[in-house]
Amino acid sequence: MAKFDGVIFDWAGTTVDYGCFAPVQAFADSFAEFGVIPTMDEVRAPMGMLKREHVRTMLQMERISGLWKQVHGPEFTEEDVEAVYLRSESRIMELLGQFTDIKPYVKETVEELRRRGLKIGSTTGYTDEMMQVVVPAAAKKGYSPDCWFSPDAVGQKGRPFPYMIFRNMEELKLSDVRKVMKVGDTVSDIREGKNAGLYTVGIIEGSSVVGLSQREFEALSPEERAQLCEQARKKYLEAGADCAVNDIRGILELIEV
């Protein structure tokens, strides 16, 4: 008997865009335009949140806050948050088309899930406008969920709020949160899934948590890979994940009782 009726995936870093580079590059470029150069760790720490909250969280970081004051004088204001956010929105639209490749094993894993009778949903930190770029491009390359919802569909109450998940469940006619799995590549994904009451899984390879391109990851020694994967696994579990898997194929072992 099937343990799950549906799986709800994240997008960048989970099913497309190995390493989750489109939003990372957009945030980094946007802060740089305001004279503040963030580290990749600083950019990635809030990944998965609403984009405006992501900017605010970065500006609240001690080092970035200090740099902002050095460059701009006073502490940042909500107007500053909005200015950086708006630039990041336009920048990600410029970049998105370059980052729509499907991650390894996604197409065949989703096909197997459907063969077993599961429905496929999706939540995202992207806006509807961004998804109009990502969704058709991914479909042409072989991945298309049954439905997806962005923060635009839930009054901008994105992750870690659970409402995008509930919209998926409504659309897919899934009645039991205990039989739905959430799969993502950020701490925000994990919190979203747990806040909805779902069994929640972190993807390790190609994730924002690991933060490497496929070429960079494959260039590591086996020992280095193992260490990075273990660090990512620990981060997911500390955030409340029920499980972490190396790549998307790992969820197939969790589907059946």
Question: Residue 42's closest CA among 224, 208, 158?
Answer: 208
The string of DSSP codes covering 48-113 is TS-HHHHHHHHHHSHHHHHHHHHHHSSPP-HHHHHHHHHHHHHHHHHHGGGS-PBPTTHHHHHHHH
Q: How many residues does the chain have?
A: 257
Instruction: Answer yes or no: 51 catalytic.
Output: yes
Q: How many CA atoms lie within 13 A of 22 on its CB side?
A: 27
Q: Which of 5, 17, 51, 119 does the annotation list as catalytic? A: 51
Distance separating alpha carbons of residues 239 and 185, to the nearest angstrom: 12
The string of DSSP codes covering 200-251 is EEEE-TT-TTT---HHHHHTS-HHHHHHHHHHHHHHHHHTT-SEEESSGGGG
Instruction: Answer yes or no: 182 catalytic.
Output: no
Distance separating alpha carbons of residues 233 and 203, to the nearest angstrom: 9
Q: Which of 10, 17, 185, 189 does the annotation list as catalytic? A: 10
Distance separating alpha carbons of residues 223 and 228, to the nearest angstrom: 9
* Residues with a known catalytic role: 10, 51
